[in-house]
Structure 1
């Protein structure tokens, strides 16, 4: 009987999604219901600066990616979880682009090209999660969110390259293998 209880406990703990630790929404600027969380970055944009010794949402997204990508559902507990979902999807797209790149130089070029693509906001064609964020109330709000998403995507891309490639510039198969996974059953092109 005890082995059944242990099995059930193990099974229930395996089905837990990793949520963001940024659950306090007080004092955080929002655009379209997306929190503009602080980032450790040198890239220009609307994100507030974060302490370099503290983890930010990009660190969480990369850390939790390989676990969260296995889930078909993601229960949102805070606004930061919405941003974590968006970043997990973006990391999946970036890994798909890096999958065929055999060197860090080629991978960097692919990521730069991904960063140059148009960043859609809610209500525009190509936005991956139509109900995740609210529609912009003004053009200024749409541009604020677009600029934040562009900044956070660029920062995520730079940090992801450090994971996807080893120090000698060769691909890290333990990361690139996750390009084949479908996060929340989304087919990413």
Structure 2
């Protein structure tokens, strides 16, 4: 017996990527080629480099990467947003759902913040908002977040956003300073909403 897909094909590609409002001075919007300088800046940030391992990008390569993110929305492989000031301006971070398995109903949330966005609480709000979009609008069943056990800031974001710790994956990711154990957090569509 073949199970029907949890999320039918075309649910993402049939509509434009939405802008997601957050309470406060930020929102989540699709990246544009004009945001390439912020993406280039992220490649030089020591914390982002350490925890996310991005390649060094030229401005042209950053534009090409943003265009690939737009394509990945239409091919239903990922949904990547810029964390940006609501009144307008360059992004202070990135959040998205990647490793999408629409037939199986799962995906992985990823995120980073530039110094201009750190300490504001925006990433916790953004993680909760993207989770609600993935469950309520896209129709996923399970979302996960993984991060190095040596990255307590990412752990706090995941936990505060309603993604409880499920366990530790030993030696799961190679960083510049060696193999890191990774925490695995997850949230189900059936879990209680995060208190406001």
* Structure whose residues are more often helix by fraction: 1
Note whether the superposition's TM-score is higher than 0.5: no
> Higher strand fraction: Structure 1 or Structure 2?
2
Larger RCO (CA under 8 A, 6+ residues apart): 1
Instruction: Give the TM-score normalised by structure 1.
Output: 0.26
Q: Which is greater in Rg?
A: 1
